[in-house]
Structure 1
Amino acid sequence: MLAYYAMGSHQGWAPINVEYHRSSPKVAGNNREIYYARYIDWFITTPLLLLDLLLTAGLPWPTIVWTIFLDWIMIITGLIGALTPSAWKWGWWTFGTVAMFYVFYNLAGVGRKRAKLLGSDIYRTYMICGVLTLFVWLCYPIAWGVSEGANLITPDSEAVFYGVLDFLAKPVFSVALIVGHWNIDPARLGLTINYGDEELPHRGEKGAHNGATPAAAADNGVAGNNTLTA
């Protein structure tokens, strides 16, 4: 939301010399607006989307952290490429695309197999959200290529292209995920949620020595502030 506010008010962008000059008057000129605000938004929001999806599959934290790291690599390389005023930008695009396919491997391979073991309802939710994510995210390198990369479409058309993808990747994905999780017990995913009305484990009463419970303190010869002697 903040990123689109920035872009809508013509902020969060930088002029970059174009590598490919086009004859069309819509994209003619020596500079192009590169909206870095969009990449800041992706850097924050896309890891949350991946976290939701990978937790649905019950994947371990090392796999989740690695996938999010690859996602950050994908976004950072995309931004560097967009800000590069030469053909070297396509090298950054390649690095980002490779990172994206590693993310896809964890989603379509590792995550899908794990979700299938958790039950048909979890698997169905994961597949709906996962297929949506794979399809939409696959379109982002294409959008980058025809806009920041090859300078084929105008910044306005670029905003529409990315806007449609963001709408599918975030609000539509979120609704599908919430509906899918509606009747799924988080415990089946290895998650424990405290809703505020449950008692927390007692950490020991006042007077226990070094955080020990009264029973443990008594076993050690200490009960409250009284010391037991022979």
Structure 2
Amino acid sequence: MDLTKRKNDAINANGNHFVNGATSNIAITTHGSDWYFAVCAVMFVSTIAFAGLSFTKPRSHRIFHYITAAITMVAAIAYFTMGADLGETGIKPEFIRTNSKVAGNLREIFYVRYIDWVITTPLLLMDLLLTAGMPWPTILYTILIDEIMIITGLIGALVTSSYKWGYYTFGCVAFLWVAWTVTWTARKHAAAIGPDVSKTYLICGVWTIFLWFLYPIAWGLSEGGNVIAPDSEAVFYGILDILAKPVFGTLLLWGHRNIEPSRLGLHIRDYDDPMPGGLERKSEKDIGNGHHNSGVADNTATTTGASTV
């Protein structure tokens, strides 16, 4: 079989999805599909790299490698799905444009993108907020607000009327709360731990929030306003996701190379680590002998004490 003649046939194989008897006529082309598959490859290679780097650390020090590899792994699956022109539905756009690339009665909306974000953005926040040594209640509450941000974005993308902008507003307000936590509260926590932690957090935190400010713009131009074509939407979101996930992960793990998790309040024990307080693990036989010897010692002490008296 001549592999040089093989072409991307995902659009023909999977692109005929009917919604109320019609197909999406504002949809990605083969160029958009190729781009999604290319981003999938970047995410997949990044996952292998991040997971492989974890073996350079003790098992109890791999939490950031595991979280970061999970982010790109989920993203790789989502981008494969979008490249295959799956995980989408057709929605009537609020604004009908005259540009032939966005003229039509149904626009393709990739809901799988939001499934990706509802999993990966909390993991990104965990990477950041654990680096800052934030308390768990604050981390969990910030993740809840983040979930509201993503879910309202999805609902807005699926709404055909102007009410979509109400959900867009809810999502933006939620994002501002997350941005405040990351840029102000967590930054002070990181600074209190040490200059190396503060530097790592500041680089990764500013990088993330700057990129996250661009996502609402992408949403407004694509799912919201139907201004740019789905292929352009793919490029916009794809570049943002590469910068926000593999590049972010590289910066974060590089910053963590000399940071002990215990400094961040993460006390993770492995099965062969010493017990807390310097007590080594003992077998049942050793424990039994210890009790027996202890009893002998107690008897000897009692006898000695009686003799002294």
TM > 0.5 between the two?
yes
Q: Deviations over 1:72-99 (max 9, x none)?
A: 0000000000000011000000000000
Shift of 1:202: 5.0
3-state DSSP of counterpart to 1:14: strand
Change (3 A) 1:52 1:156: same
Range with bigger deviation, 160-169 or 193-202: 193-202
Counterpart check, 1:80 vs 2:155: yes
TM-score w.r.t. the length of structure 1 is 0.87
Alignment of 1:36 with 2:111, yes or no, is yes
- The Cα shift of 1:27 comes to 0.3
How far the C-alpha of 1:143 sits from its partner, in A, is 0.3
Out of 98, 105, 122, which is 2:173 matched to? 98
User: How many angstroms does 1:26 deviate by?
Assistant: 0.6
Identity level (%): 57
Q: Residue 24 of structure 1 corresponds to which residue in structure 2?
A: 99
2:258 is matched with which residue: 174, 180, 183?
Answer: 183
Deviations 1:95-124 (A, max 9, x none): 000000000011011101111111100000
Q: What is the alpha-carbon distance in structure 2 between the residues aligned to residue 32 and residue 157 of structure 1?
A: 13
* Distance apart, 1:198 and its partner CA: 1.6
Helix, strand or coil at the partner of 2:108 = strand
Rg bigger for which structure?
2
Please name the residue that 1:137 is paired with.
212
Pick one of 128, 149, 154 that aligns with 2:203: 128
How many residue pairs get aligned? The number is: 214
Give the aligned partner of residue 123 of structure 2.
48
Q: CA deviation at 1:204?
A: 8.7
Judged with a 3 Å threshold, the aligned counterparts in structure 2 of structure 1 residues 183 and 92 are, in CA distance, closer, same or farther, namely: same
For residue 258 of structure 2, give the secondary structure of its aligned residue in structure 1.
Answer: coil
Partner in structure 1 of residue 13 of structure 2 = none
Aligned counterpart, 2:236: 161
- Structure 1 residue 196: deviation in Å? 4.6
Instruction: Give the aligned partner of residue 132 of structure 2.
Output: 57
Does 1:111 find its partner at 2:183? no
Aligned partners of 1:205 and 1:214 also within 8 Å: no
Which of the pair is proportionally richer in helix? 2
- Note the alpha carbon deviations across 1:55-86, whole angstroms, 9 max, x for none: 01000000000010011000000000000001
Higher relative CO (Cα under 8 Å, sequence separation at least 6) belongs to: 2
Contact 1:47 1:71 in 2 (8 A): yes
2:273 aligned to which of 192, 198, 211: 198
Secondary structure at 1:34 match in 2: strand
Residue 78 (structure 2) pairs with residue 8 (structure 1): no
Distance 1:145 1:203, change over 3 A: farther
Query: What's the TM-score, normalizing by structure 2?
Result: 0.66
